[in-house]
Amino acid sequence: MAPVNALLLKPATKPIAFVLALLPLAWLVWGAAANKLGANPAEALIRSTGDWTLRFLCLTLALTPLRQATGWHALARLRRMLGLFCFFYAVVHFLCFAWLDMGFDVDAILHDIAKRPFILVGTAALLTLLPLAATSFNRAIKALGARRWQALHRLVYATAALALLHFFWMRAGKNDFAEVAVYAAIVGALLGWRLWRRLRPAPRVQPAR
């Protein structure tokens, strides 16, 4: 445990994690420029940025149980960055939809959000990430107080549920639920672990003799 924690505490860890988190976007930009995204590059960009949003959401939720299971407590240094990358990819996902599908036509975007439930739910998931990203800095934690900040950031559980529902409805049109089941199992396990930790009885304190 100690060598891993020491490695995670090195100054280079965060810059390396930052670069690795940007690699999916870099690959997509390169693929679009080199015409390597298949017959429908617009759909590939929209779908791929949505997939990476869900992956970063799972990674962010996985850090706490992984940290407690392994003793790699320095993983906590990466939680804020991963959460912000989840928000970043969610914004890029929405912008790809707004640009490539809607041509930045605000009326058309609003009409599509209201008309199609899976887009409405996806937009709601993005909106739940807004206050989390806006209060992810130390100044916001001090302003809100630790208890209120923690209560606000439990909104991420609603984000996870809405993101899964968005993904489910999006795949329902093609009757393709294999990936949905995988993400649902991962998110279910991560949220179930938190519920178990919350509900389990507190350890008994042995009386002094």
Domain that residue 29 falls in: 2-195
Taking only the tens place, the pLDDT of each residue in 95-144 is 999 999 999 999 999 999 999 999 999 999 999 999 999 999 999 999 99
Measured over the CA atoms of residue 25, residue 93, residue 185 and residue 75, the dihedral's sign is positive
The verdict on residue 19 lying in a domain is yes
Please state, in angstroms and rounded to a whole number, the distance separating the CA atoms of residues 88 and 52.
10
At residue 176 the predicted structure's pLDDT band, cuts being 50, 70 and 90, is: confident
pLDDT at 208 over 70: no
Please state, in angstroms and rounded to a whole number, the distance separating the CA atoms of residues 191 and 184.
10
Q: What is the helix, strand, coil percentage profile of the chain, to 5?
A: 80, 0, 20
Q: Treating both helix axes as pointing N-terminal to C-terminal, what angle do 146-153 and 117-134 enclose, rounded to 10 degrees?
A: 160
The verdict on residue 36 lying in a domain is yes
pLDDT at 205 over 60: no
The verdict on residue 207 lying in a domain is no
Q: What is the pTM (predicted TM-score) of this model?
A: 0.93
Please state the domain count of the chain: 1
pLDDT of the residue at 179:
92
The verdict on residue 205 lying in a domain is no
